[in-house]
Structures are given as structure tokens and as C-alpha cells.
Structure 1
Amino acid sequence: MKQKIVFFDIDGTLITEDGNQTLPESTVYAIQELRRRGHLAFINSGRTLFNVIEQPYILRIGFDGYVCACGAHILYRGKHLLTATVPYEAHAAVIDAARRYHMELLLEGPDYFYFDLSIPMNASRQSLYDRFPNHRENVDIPNKCFNKFVTWETPESDTASFVKAVSPWFTYINRGGGFGEFCMHAYSKATGIQFLADRFGLSLDDCYVIGDSMNDLPMLDYVQHSILMGNGTPSLRSHVEYVTTDILDDGIENALVHYNLIP
């Protein structure tokens, strides 16, 4: 079979989102078998680089590379193929707007999370702050390097005004529950796919994507061979070619078998 490239989301696709981060053994087997057969396996995630490559379950599976920060950072077998960071003129604008419109802010970079320590932390931000003691900085330090950011609404938030204030630079993804993700306009999970297809001389018909939630929509809509996890967002079913089984019901293995990528 001609070489194919498969892109995997992380949360809800490779591991469960129930707090246990369960990685099914069938998923480990399936991706390793995929690579043994000469195909390429890439993570395609909104997470930035350190928050992908340092995770033990990622290291255990083994991947050819990573599309991180919604397409803004691409790594292939240890080589940085693409690194895009937020332009300097946007730095102060994002921080000022977050404080003006009462949004809890977390800037996400290749090596650090940048926390706004001027306001109390909600449980989600506090958890990230505690989990990554070697990868945290204050948003107010100079020479920040970040690819994207996320926000949480507060009771005083004016989300619409905040989104408008940062719209010259960022695309807003409403993740629900007052949680928002902001990516640079020129980059997405779909642009990461196209970049690597061009790099390896593959057509989009050689590309397969597997995801579960709304922030996977750009890549699910971009290629024909799009796969939704059985536990995925129901409204995405109309956007994909195939719906596999749940993550704990061998969803990854069943998807790769369905497309004859593994036996």
C-alpha cells in the first residue's frame, strides 16, 4: 500500500477525558502497527509543544511527529519544520484586553505557559499551574514566546468585546462552558495537514484524521478520510466519513482496520 499519513487528536481520541487519562492498549498496538507498516503517525493538537512531547503516554506510543498549537508548530523526528509565534504587537493587546474585559487568560508557548498572576486562579488554571512548575511564567515578563492562548469567562466577562479586540490577530474557537481557544489566523489543524502533505509529496486522499470535538472540525472538514470517535461530539457526525467505536471500545484500532491501514 502507498504510504499514508494519519493525524490524531489527543484528549478524547488517544486518552480519555475523565481525569484518568486512560490509554487503551489497543490504541498503543494500532499506532505502532501503523508505523511498522510504513505509514506516518502524527499528533495534531491544540496543545503547544512541551505539553505534548513530555506526556508519558505520547512517549510510550511513539509518533513520527507533532502538529502543535493548532498548526503553528510542526516537529518531525526531532526537526522543527515550522515555528510561528504571536507577533510582538499583539502581546500587550491580548493582556490588556483580557484585563479590561475580565477574562481569565493563559498564554501557551512552545516551552512555557504564561499565567496572569494579577487575578485569582480558577480550578483549571490552578491545576495547570501546579502540574507544570518548570514550565510556568508570568504574562508580564518581557520577550514572551507563545503560539496561542485560551481564556475562561468570569461573572464579569464581556466575551464579545474581548473577541473583537483580539480579532485582528486571532480566530476564536468556542469550546463551551465559558472556555475559549484563540489561534493565529494563518494557522489551524488543517494548515498543518496541508504543510505535511506537501512536505512528503502526498495528496489529501493519502491523509486520514481522527478526532472527537469541535476544535477538531478544521481538520475533519479538510480531508475526505475523516474519522470521529464514537464518544465524540454528536453534531460532528455529519462532518465525517466514518464514525468508529468509543475510545475504550478499541476506537482507534477499529478505525485503522476499517481503512485497511492495519490488519
Structure 2
Amino acid sequence: MEICDTHSPMANLSQFLKPEELPKYFGIDVDGTLYTKNVEGFERNVKAITQIRKRGYIPFICTGRSRKTSFNLFGPDFVEKTGYRGYPGVYKNGAVVYDEKGDILSLCAFSEDFLTKFSNFLTENKCADKVIFFTEDYEHSLADVCPEWRENLISINRNIPKTLTFEELLKKNVVMIKYAYFKLDLPDLKEGIDYIERADQDHTRDLCPPGVTKASALSTLINHYGLSPKDCGFIGDCYNDVECLRICSPSFAVANAKDVAKRSAQWVLDKTCDQGAVAEALQLTYGPL
């Protein structure tokens, strides 16, 4: 299949050719891509996923959310209509990977040393109420979240975290940290070595354990099935999707995607998430639905 410049935001869909070998797997981002509050747009996406699964292909979730919050967002009808329960799937920006049976293929957590230094920073700067710690399925904080955080979480359908002590936190597998409303300055910790940082579309920042990205996790999942990322399609919209958009084929950025995502994708779609962009990508890849 001939493709456009993988770093061009002006990929022309009129030049798109259906792959000769259709990808068995297809990774799908959630926020800003699959999920939309527009009922018609979301329903188009759900119908497309249902049809592709009936043909024997495996679309899967690849998101910064947990499986639990993703499916709370989709609603109870999603599983009934699609038959997809979130497995296989990539969650928490790649920190948690499940196979098709729901068994964990990979779970990457922050070290006690990192959490101790991070917690000390929060205490010294009085910003513990602006940070959320994520385990595989739950959200925690070291203080009641500030009003701005609470309002933000409600607006994007996220759970309000449960407060706990630092000693209690250390007993859990913290796979992702989200913060906002302050500048992070950790002189004893290096970004890219001790942690990975990404901007999120809701004006927050995500921290993941070292070496963890959606792309690393997608590779872990696909390699488990004896394939490589080039045998897997992908669609996304934001900063944490960039690496996947670069290594997967075909890869699509939705019309509402960040510019860096559009530059990283092989193709930029005409439709936004509100218009059913996932359905458009799946139809281009697998033929009429």
C-alpha cells in the first residue's frame, strides 16, 4: 500500500488504498477518538466495531484510562452490542496490558523510591490536593482534591479519588500519576529516566513509569500474538498517541486531533470524534460495513 509522508498533516484520503493484508488487530484511543457525547457519532463507532469483530478482526482499546473507567464511560450497552469486554487492551498509557482472556501481560508500577521523593515534593510545596495516583482500576489521592480538580474530573467523567495515607499508597501498585495547577520540579528525578511525562488534552499532565508508553505496551500486546506493530492499525488524537501513530499501519488521526498527532499519522481523517471518526477509519481499512 502506498502511503503519504508519515509526518504530513495533509494526508489526502482520496489516495488511500485498502491494505492488501488487513490488520488482524486495530488499536483505538478513547477520549477525543472513540468516545463522544454525540449519541449518533458514538453509535456509528460502536456499530463499526461490532461489524469488524463479526468479521474476525480484533479492535482493542488503547487508552490513558483504566478498563473500569473506560467501560463506565461507554455504558452497559457497549459490551452487549460489541461483545468486547476490554480484553485484549492497553490501559493507563501503557502501564497495564491485558490479553484476550483478561490476564495481565504487563503491569509497570512506580518504585518506592520515586513515590517517596514525589510525595516529599508534594508536602514541601503544599500541592498534594492537585495530584491523583492511579492503580490498575482505582484512583487515590493523599488529600481531598481541590475544587478545580473536582470540577475537571466531573466534566470528563472521571471518578473522584479516595484519600489515603502515604504508607497505604506504598502498598499499592501505582501505575500512573496525574497532576495539574502547579509546576513540577524534581531535581533528584530525571524525566525520561525516572519517569515519562505527557500532556493530556484536559490541561493536565500524566506521569508514567520509565519506559512506559502506549507504543511500548501495544508492541508487548502485538508481539504476544507473534506479530509486530506494522501488522496493527491505530487511531488516536493526542500527545500520548504519537508513538503508536508512527509505528502502526495503517494509522489515522481524527480531524479534531492535535497537530503533532496529525503529523505523526499516515492519514488524517475528514471526520471528528463527534462525527464517528472511528467508523470512518475502520471502513477505510476493512471495506464497507
**TM-score range for the pair, normalised by the shorter chain length:** 0.7 to 0.9
Matching residue of 2:175: 147
In the alignment, structure 2 segments of 5+ residues that lack a partner are 1-20
Matching residue of 2:229: 204
Q: Any conservation in 1 of the 2:236–2:257 contact (CA below 8 Å)?
A: yes
Matching residue of 1:67: 90
Q: Give CA deviations for 1:57-89 in whole Å, capped at 9, x if unaligned.
A: 353542442201121111123222222222222
Determine whether 1:108 maps to 2:134: yes
Deviation, structure 1 residue 35: 1.1
Matching residue of 2:274: 248
Q: How is 1:126-205 mapped onto 2 (pairs within 5 angstroms)? A: 128=153, 132=159, 136-142=162-168, 143-153=171-181, 157-159=182-184, 161-162=185-186, 165=189, 167=191, 168-175=193-200, 179-205=204-230
Counting matched residue pairs gives 254
Q: CA RMSD in A?
A: 2.8
Q: Secondary structure at the match of 2:200?
A: strand
Matching residue of 1:51: 69
**Which amino acid is 2:172 matched to?**
K
Q: Give CA deviations for 1:217-250 in whole Å, capped at 9, x if unaligned.
A: 1211222421101121134322111112112323
Deviation, structure 1 residue 2: 5.5
Cα gap change, 1:198 to 1:240, in 2 (>3 Å): same
Compute the TM-score of the two structures, normalised by the length of structure 1: 0.84
Distance 1:12 1:131 in 2: 15
Percent of aligned positions that are identical: 19
Residue in structure 1 matching 2:250, options 222, 225, 242: 225
Cα gap change, 1:98 to 1:256, in 2 (>3 Å): same
Deviates more, 1:214-223 or 1:169-178: 169-178
Distance 2:187 2:89 in 1: 28
What stretches of structure 1 move > 3 A for 4+ residues in a row?
Answer: 20-23, 53-61, 125-133, 162-168, 175-178
Q: Which has the higher contact order (CA 8 A, sep 6+)?
A: 2
Deviation, structure 1 residue 262: 5.4
Matching residue of 1:5: 25
Q: Any conservation in 2 of the 1:33–1:262 contact (CA below 8 Å)?
A: no
Higher strand proportion: 1
Matching residue of 2:11: none
In the alignment, structure 1 segments of 5+ residues that lack a partner are none
Q: Give CA deviations for 1:68-114 in whole Å, capped at 9, x if unaligned.
A: 11211111232222222222222221211233345421111113211
Distance 2:180 2:231 in 1: 37
Cα gap change, 1:248 to 1:50, in 2 (>3 Å): closer
Q: Any conservation in 2 of the 1:163–1:172 contact (CA below 8 Å)?
A: no
Matching residue of 1:24: 42
Deviation, structure 1 residue 192: 1.2
Q: Any conservation in 1 of the 2:215–2:244 contact (CA below 8 Å)?
A: yes
